Structure 1
Amino acid sequence: MNITKESTGDLTATIQIDLTAEDYGEKVNAALKELQRKAALKGFRPGKVPFGLVKKMYGNSAMAEEVNKILSESLNNYIKDNELDILGYPIANEEKNQKVDFENQTEFSFFFDIGTAPEVNLEINDKTAVTFYNITVEDEKVDDYLKNIRNQFGANINPETAEKGDLIKGDFVQVNGDGNPIEGAVTHNSSLSIEFVKDEDVQKKFVGAKVGDKIVFNPLKATGNESETSSMLNIAKDDREKMESDYQFTLTEISRIAPAEVNKELFDKVYPTDNIETEEQFRERLRQEASKYFQKESDNFFVHETLEKLVNETDIPLPEEFVKRWMLETDDKLTKESIDHDFEHYAKSLKQQLIVNKIAKDHDIKVDEQDVRNHIKGYFGKQYMIDITDEEKSKQLDALVNSVMQNQEEVRKIYDELFDEKVREIFKNNLKLNKVDVTYDKFIETVNEHHKHHHNHEH
């Protein structure tokens, strides 16, 4: 076997792999002997089919399989041994690769194109300034959280008269212009929330209504939403006659959530281990919870903004044509036209990943299996209020951890989360942070403006 690499550009090269019978012969024979051992052909006892016949029947496919295995292994080893930092993966060079004839050929040459990752010259220090948003939790937000929690832990009651926030249930029947049921009318028992009725005149009809009252209205006009109307009446959206008709609604039930009292019982239900005694303490605990959630959103935006800035300020050349070919080979949904149209966006994502790789290398960022296990264990310990320093309880948690570790998708997600966390801390500890206090609503407005600006810029 002979492997060579020829440069074809600043960041591209072609790897040539030459194979002879010495490289694959023994493995092909071993594969054929295994096939002979298992072969069951009419007229022969199991395992007694002549080797020559097996070779004639399966020789070419066995050779193709072994050659492909050797190619894949050799290519990967060559890239690893020579410490080639490549983009994506190697792509077969269709122009140089000849049609293979396993029947008559014994020597083969294969060509693969590679794209090399550019050198990223980047230092993470306080010469780079980035805005960091510290989101303050206003009293109004705490009020909203408290209202939601009171409703969440409230009791369901059935009052006599409907109010705006109630859920009402009743029977729908399709009617004509005079308000009388039509022949073959649609009838359906369903529910609707009064506050989500967009037509104010219709909404007023429901407020103050009692069980047994009949209200004629046009559901489509009232909701302004075809999907909601279709689901509420159990009819197809394309049945325009039924969709656009008036209906009589006979009220059969009024449901309302009576908010839970703000007292010790509620505090213990929401935060059983915090021993909260007063509403003031409870509101402060809600504020902490909101602050933690807001902080996560702010952190994510901070990393996004930082990577945007670093990409814009760092010269990172890419082998564009190779990257486009690789993308086309990787994703069946992409076309040459769509890649060309959105390449600026794809290139930015790739450059951001190269920057993250550089930071991880320079700062020795690593996440291993034990990190993932510790994270899962800590999560369950907190969730179920288990003292993980207790040896017996710690063993019980280990069983839960082992169960989660079987889910590769979940493990990958946790790995990425821990890795991103470490990158974020590098940014926070080394960059110059211009800290700005903002309300949550102002923060969301800033994020939306940012996305709008960049969307317009890219298109």
Structure 2
Amino acid sequence: MQVIETLAEGLKRELKVVIPAKDMEARMNERLAETKDKVRINGFRPGKVPFAHLKKMYGKSIMAELVNELVREKPTEILSERGEKSATQPEIAMTENEAEADKILSAEADFEFTVAYEIIPAIELKDVSGIKVTREVVDIDEAEVTEQILKIAENARTYETKKGKAANGDRVTIDYLGKVDGEAFDGGKDEDAELVLGSNRFIPGFEEQLVGLKAGDEKVITVTFPAEYPAANLAGKEATFDITVKDVAAAAEIEINDDLATKLGLESADKLKEVVRGQIESQYGSMTRQKVKRQILDQLDELYQFDTPQRLVDAEFDNIWRQINTDLEQAGKTFADEDTTEEDARGEYRKLAERRVRLGLVLSEIGEKAGVTVSDDEMQRSLFEQLRQFPGQEKQIIDYFQKTPGAAASLRAPIFEEKVVDHLLSEVKVTDKTVSKEELLADDEDGASETKKAPKKKAAAKAEAAEGEEAAAPKKKAPAKKKAADDSAE
């Protein structure tokens, strides 16, 4: 076998691989000899088939198998011998001429194919002891814990029937019938519907007109459906609702005690406070880590500057660009609405793709040299988290990760990255700084600098996620409303 380098330009490589016809024939003969005792051909006893006849019947099919095996296995072997790593799956090309292919399968011509790929550049690791990061920490006071408990307790709040007029915060029980142009419409009717005034569950103007009514009152109210209302036959239309109030109930005071804790599934008020405090700490901790990680990546980006494999950059850019356009489409916006142009946005997101690829290679090299690994248990927990987020779709998700090439890597990559960041945190200088929650949650303008000129709202946030912050999992659909009528009135 002869390997000839035909291109070495930047990170691009192209090799011409030539396997002489006599070597191919020798391989074929070995394979035929192995199958001689296994084949069954009418007119011949097992193992007594003449070699020439065997070659005539099976030679080309065996040669085709050899060709497939060689193009599948040799590129990896050759790159290993050259001490190179391909950034993506190498591209293999061979003759498409039928006559030439027939000569190769007949061992009358050398088998030639080309291997085109981009190498992963050699990365010389730099000293990171000079990296300095500030870890912002929030002190959680008792008032914030209490406030959060009260918000959670709203779901467990009880109501007691009262006499007199309904006020904001009261729960009214009503029957209603909606009409457009005097005609009732589908989904516009409900009986014994419970509505907390001020909750803004129903369309604008609906709840406000119920304030001041009392049990037994009847009233016709007029509202206008929003222009963007999902039901096209109602969007922007004026409608009336015939209302009958059947009950008015006042909200009971919420007290943080053992009874409330029991309603929320915990054994005591102290345990409730402990759990809520832990949840708040976790939320702030995630933001703290996100900011610390961004600082590390920004400084690594300054330390490491090298050419990146363009195929990796192209693939990363395509992923980003697809998400950007999906977000804009869902929001009903254009690049002009985001104070940019498509051309400028492409340029900015191309830079972002290059940064992400470069940092990914750096983190991979750091992790490899540090001996960072991802265990089977960690992979299993990551898979379970995917299953938990999509109840009812467990089989499809498992099938996807089992049968889709590279799918498992999408589970491994974020775990590996977080563990590399943990390793770096043990080597860089970290200074803790106590801040208010407002300071912690403030937008990180400097950290978002690479996307300032691109669509900078939802789209930009998602595009930045994978370069430092943990990317959000696909969100589940919101649960359906209890009754169809609510969908029309809400």
* TM-score of the superposed pair, with normalisation by structure 1: 0.67
Q: Which amino acid aligns with 1:122?
A: L
* Residue pair 1:162, 1:209 contacting (<8 A) in 2 also: yes
Q: Secondary structure at the match of 1:446?
A: coil
Structure 2 residue corresponding to 1:304, chosen from 273, 294, 300: 294
Give, as a single letter, the amino acid of the residue that structure 2 aligns with 1:442: E
Deviation at 1:209, TM superposition (A): 3.2
The Cα of 1:120 is off from its aligned counterpart by: 2.5
Q: Post-superposition shift, 1:11?
A: 1.9
Counterpart AA for 2:372: I
What aligned pairs does 1:283-362 form with structure 2 within 5 A after superposition? 283=273, 285-320=275-310, 322-323=311-312, 342-362=349-369
Task: Give the whole-Å Cα distance in 1 for the aligned partners of 2:8 and 2:228.
Answer: 58
Contact 1:5 1:14 in 2 (8 A): yes
Q: Does the residue aligned with 1:134 lie in a helix, a strand or coil?
A: strand
Which whole-Å CA distance do the structure 2 matches of 1:306 and 1:432 have between them?
10
User: 437, 451, 458: which one pairs with 1:455?
Assistant: 451
SS at match of 1:103: helix
Which residue is equivalent to 1:390? none
Q: Describe how 1:192-341 pairs up with structure 2 within 5 A.
A: 194=197, 195-196=199-200, 202-210=206-214, 213-221=218-226, 225-227=228-230, 230=231, 237=232, 239=233, 243-251=236-244, 261-267=255-261, 272=266, 276=268, 278=270, 282-283=272-273, 285-320=275-310, 322-323=311-312
Q: Which residue of 2 aligns with 1:127?
A: 130
CA contact (8 A) 1:88 1:115 kept: yes
18-27 vs 120-129, greater mean Cα deviation: 18-27
Give the 3-state SS of the residue equivalent to 1:247 in structure 2. strand
- The Cα shift of 1:203 comes to 3.8
* AA aligned opposite 1:152: N
Distance 1:151 1:298, change over 3 A: same
Give the Cα separation in 2 of the matches to 1:444 and 1:358: 32
Q: Deviations over 1:74-101 (max 9, x none)?
A: 21233345442221221246xxx54243
- Aligned residues, how many? 394
1:327–1:425: structure 2 CA closer, same or farther, 3 Å change rule?
closer
How far the C-alpha of 1:430 sits from its partner, in A, is 1.4
Q: Please give the per-residue CA displacement for 1:396-421, whole angstroms capped at 9, x wherever unaligned.
A: xxxxxxxx999958976764454334
Equivalent position amino acid for 1:355 in 2: V
State how far apart, in whole Å, the 1-side matches of 2:427 and 2:168 are. Answer: 53
Q: Which amino acid aligns with 2:428?
A: L
The answer to which structure has the higher helix fraction is 1
1-side partners of 2:319 and 2:279: how far apart? 42
User: Which one of the candidate residues 170, 179, 182 is aligned to 1:174?
Assistant: 179
Residue pair 1:365, 1:422 contacting (<8 A) in 2 also: yes
Q: Secondary structure at the match of 2:443?
A: helix
Aligned: 1:11 with 2:5: no
Distance 1:249 1:444, change over 3 A: farther
**Which residue of structure 2 aligns with residue 364 of structure 1?**
371
Percentage of matched positions with identical amino acids: 15
User: Helix, strand or coil: the match of 2:308?
Assistant: coil
CA contact (8 A) 2:137 2:288 kept: yes
2:442 counterpart SS class? helix
The match for 1:108 among 108, 111, 114 is 111
Is the partner of 1:205 in helix, strand or coil?
A: helix
CA offset digits 1:109-136 (Å, max 9, x no partner) = 1112111112223335331122322133
Q: Which runs of no fewer than 5 residues in structure 2 stay unpaired?
A: 42-50, 326-342, 386-396, 456-490
Query: CA 1:99–1:445 in 2, change beyond 3 Å: closer, same or farther?
Result: same
Q: Deviations over 1:210-236 (max 9, x none)?
A: 456333222415xx7513xx3xxxxxx
CA displacement 1:233-282 (0-9 Å, x = unmatched): xxxx1x36x7512221424667887576422233356574xx7565xx74
Deviations 1:327-379 (A, max 9, x none): 799999799x9977732121111011111112102211112225556x69xx9
CA gap 1:277/1:201 in 2 versus in 1, 3 angstroms: closer
Match of 1:435 among 411, 432, 435: 432
TM-score (norm 2): 0.63
Q: Distance in 2 between matches of 1:60 and 1:332?
A: 46
